[in-house]
Structure 1
Amino acid sequence: MRRILAAIAAVLFVLATPAHATAPPGPPEPQGLPGDLTSTEVSFRGDGNLELRGSVISAAGAPDGRPGVVLVHGAGTGTRREKLLAEAVAFARQGLSVLVYDKRSVGYSLFERSYPQLAEDALAAVGTLRRQPGVDPAKVGIWGLSEGGWVAPIAAARSSDIAFVILVGANALEPLRQQAWAVAAGLRKAGVGGSLVDRAEPNLYRVIADGGLFPEPYHDPAPVLAKVRQPVLGIWGVHDLLTPPRETPPILAEALEDGGNRRYAFRFFAGADHAAHLTPDGGVTRQPELAPGYAELVGTWVGEATSGRAPEAQVTGPAPVQASDTFGVPPTAWWESAPVQAVALVLLLVAFGGYPVAALVRKVRRRPAVTPVRAARLVSAGGLLAALGGFAYLFYVIMTGGKLSVPGPMAGDRPIIWLALQAVAAVTVAATAVTAARWRRAATRGERVRLGLLVAGGVVFAPWALYWGLLLP
């Protein structure tokens, strides 16, 4: 069943995930590296003995005994080191040696990933940076962005070789809850309301997770954070639209303090987005420049943390903007599980598609035509359109909602496509009632079978459409 669901999702997403024996080779050095910096190419073995490649970037003529930091990417398969070049350059100019590496693609995809595995990759990178000339091995820490905010604490909890932890756009909530909120928040920012956001979107995420197509959905960061003993610097942009910036910091602080760690400092940057880059439009567009003072904060705080002077329980900066609260995304009950949903969809397709197929077979065999029932045609066509169109549209929405793409033309706070699907669903239910009355008066056994199959499909369709919000305002 999981393979079937994965195949369907892969077709809908139009994705292809490459697999490599090693990470793809990087360029001789990061492109666009300023002349005041140097770059040393390195390679190391991550989890499963996978070869990973990266660059160690330092200021030219940097003194010995300098601190170092390993950068851990956010979500994405095989993300190249160049994506974090702005951070690497900025931190190197603050006196750090920065190791940034190409992220793995083996064992990592849209449907598969392991945070502990990524943490092992990061630990291997830390070991490599600790051995670099001029780097003080006792002053090497780890920096994690977004998904890296779940990975970096795992690595820090596993090894005392890590001297400090920096988290940017990190999340203290479960990944499934965070992602469902991010897409819903993106839709609401685009002006969407109603059952599409309140019912259909979170339900689809629950079913996807139940089908094994959302990796690490219920990872709980709190127990991991409680094991982190190193100083922690948390950074969020005020306009973070991917991590709930108001809810996350208090949860993260509570988890650290539960473990007895009060050596944390949280900073919010005005005019900044999820990655603490400047944003001119409230987080919709990311500019290449880091928020003013971000790199300087990292340089200063690392100096304090590695000299035993890390601030305690410090929170500074403007209040973050979070328009809506996150919401629970619990595991599905048996009746709404991925296998049951898949079976229901197949039954609907058979029930609604059987009516025109049977008519076509009669025509091919040149059997006497049966007087068509208009309501039955509406049930057949409407049911197929609502079922297939509804799922296709929902998948489109979750793939674009978090990117703040408006899901088609709008009528008030409802996408016209969703309104049309809702109208079709309502017509299908009404036509089912009419068809049921005609089924009772059917003159032949064949007609009773054809109409009965349609009515059965319509009976299943009604609660199915309610579950997915097609029959709700």
Structure 2
Amino acid sequence: MVLSAQPAHAAPTGLTEQEITFSSGDLVLRGTVLAPATPGPPRPAVVMVHGSGRVTRDGYRAEAEAFARAGIVTLVYDKRPRASRSDVDFSLLADDALAGVRALRSRPDVDPARTGLWGVSEGGWVAPLAASRSADVAFVVAVGAPGTSPERQQSWNLVNRLTAAGVSGSLVGTVSRTTLGLLVGAGLFPEAGYDPAPVLARVAQPVLGLWGALDRVIPGAESMRVFQEALDRGGNTRYALRAVPGADHTMRLSPDGFQRGDEVSPEYLELVASWVNGRAVEPPTGPLPHQERASAPVEAGSPGVQLAVVALLLAAFLGYASSAAVRRWRGPVRPARWAATTGLLSVLGLVAYLVHLASGGARDLGPVVLGRPIPWLVLHLLALATTAATAATAVTSWRARSALSRAHRVRLALLVTGGAVFVPWAVHWGLLVP
């Protein structure tokens, strides 16, 4: 229900704009309704459902104004705040979208039988879910909608992003599979395994699916195929699926899909406006967008095992380094100091670099040389040095065992054990892989 609405005013020219608040459960959401200023019979209406991240209604202002100018009453609203139960809970986000539909359907200038949902990116998961729950939704427009699970889509996105930055080699797999898999296993990637296909099979309303031909964020060809197969399986024949030439993930014109343009694709705006206003899209299903590589599943990692291994490595390397520092690094097993130092730097450096990449979406890699960011090259060299120094320590300590005290032999045994564990751990994280 609409809790409150401020008087409409003309802004911009030819449109009216009205600020409203409406309830979704115990949460109050704020939005803006844009509509044609010219009086007329009740019109079709659409609620715009956000993509991922901290998104406000301003992010969709250009599309909202274009739809309103085409005769569609349009609601854009601020996404639920992070302080609420979750801002990445698809079920709650679907509830918000349905609350928006109820708010629009109550307006005298809206035709309730022609009120639907528009969802972009993450909204392409949410809008069909909302439609599958309510007959109040008359149609669904899905823009850049993933047909894969979120973890699989994000892995594909990361491979594209790293490749576009000139990165090759082991770091690509380390970021897009190993690190992402660990986040999934730790429960730090909400809705990671969500499968959109069963939901799409339950959507009975007309569906317009649009994908940018230059989309580098979601696997467009796979997603379009999933939409078609799922809707067919559910017996829904009222759909149109198209790729939009020259458009990126959010339907901005782009030269390559990576450089985001400012202009929204006019062809996309015309397709949406025409379809919502009742004109058929011909042909209903166009050719698949170009997709350079297939997406791949992401295996969930084991955070408990990784924490235990890191704790063991730190105990081995830091323990020996601390005791050696007290003794000013003197002793017959000189390679041990290098094994402890380089091993400690390798472990701490890898953790710090991966945390940095994960927190920034792998956007700030550092300078790339020969397909490798410089921090990654340094970590490679440290891992090689740790492996070589551990082997030398094992040989030297065995030869000098009679000259070593029992306590020193124990410290060396722990160090060599840590070095032996380090090798498969470093291979797992790509440090000893080209």
Q: Aligned-residue CA RMSD in angstroms?
A: 2.5
1:206 alignment partner, SS class: helix
- What is the alpha-carbon distance in structure 2 between the residues aligned to residue 175 and residue 219 of structure 1? 7
Q: How does 1:90-169 map to 2 (within 5 A)?
A: 90-106=66-82, 113-169=88-144
> Aligned residue for 1:326?
295
Contact kept? 2:8, 2:18, Cα under 8 Å: no
Which amino acid counterpart does residue 374 of structure 2 have in structure 1?
Answer: I
Residue of structure 2 equivalent to 1:38: 16
| Identity among equivalent pairs (%) | 47
- State the partner residue of 2:385: 427
Cα displacement string for residues 63-120 of structure 1 (whole angstroms, at most 9, x for unaligned residues): 231010000010013x2111110111111111011011000124669x9721011000
How far the C-alpha of 1:31 sits from its partner, in A, is 13
Count of residues in correspondence between the two structures:
427
Cα shift at 1:236 = 1.2
Look up the match of 1:392: 352
Which secondary structure does the structure 2 equivalent of 1:250 belong to? helix
TM-superposed deviation, 1:325? 1.6
Structure-2 separation of matches of 1:412 and 1:30: 58
Match of 2:323 among 358, 362, 368: 358
Matches within 5 A, 1:398-413: 398-400=358-360, 403=363, 407-413=365-371
Match of 1:240 in 2: 215
Q: Give the 5 Å matches for 1:21-420.
A: 33-47=11-25, 49-77=26-54, 79-106=55-82, 113-279=88-254, 281-304=255-278, 314-316=284-286, 320-332=289-301, 337-361=302-326, 370-371=330-331, 373-400=333-360, 403=363, 407-420=365-378
| Distance change >3 Å, CA 201–CA 298, structure 1 → 2 | closer
Partners of 1:185 and 1:402 within 8 A in 2? no
Structure 1: tracts of 5 or more residues without a match: 1-27, 364-368
Q: CA deviation at 1:429?
A: 1.0
TM-score (ref. length: structure 1): 0.85
Flag structure 2 segments of 5+ consecutive residues without an equivalent: 1-5
Instruction: Report SS of the residue matched to 2:285.
Output: strand
What CA distance in whole angstroms lies between the structure 2 residues aligned with 1:316 and 1:108? 40
- 8 Å Cα contact 2:212-2:289 kept in structure 1: yes
Comparing 61-70 with 147-156, greater Cα deviation is found at 61-70
**SS at 1:42's partner residue?**
strand
1:436 to 1:33, Cα distance in 2 relative to 1, 3 A: farther
* Cα contact 2:271–2:281 (8 A) shared by 1: no
**Cα distance, 1:382 vs structure 2:** 1.2
Query: How many angstroms apart in 1 are the aligned matches of 2:102 and 2:233?
Result: 29
Aligned partners of 1:229 and 1:216: how far apart in 2?
A: 24
* 399, 406, 422: which one aligns with 1:461: 422
Letter in 2 for 1:55: T
When structure 1 is superposed on structure 2, of 67-76 and 353-362 the one drifting more is 353-362
**8 Å contact 2:34–2:64 — kept in the other structure?**
yes
TM-score by length of 2: 0.92
Superposition deviation, residue 413 in structure 1:
2.1
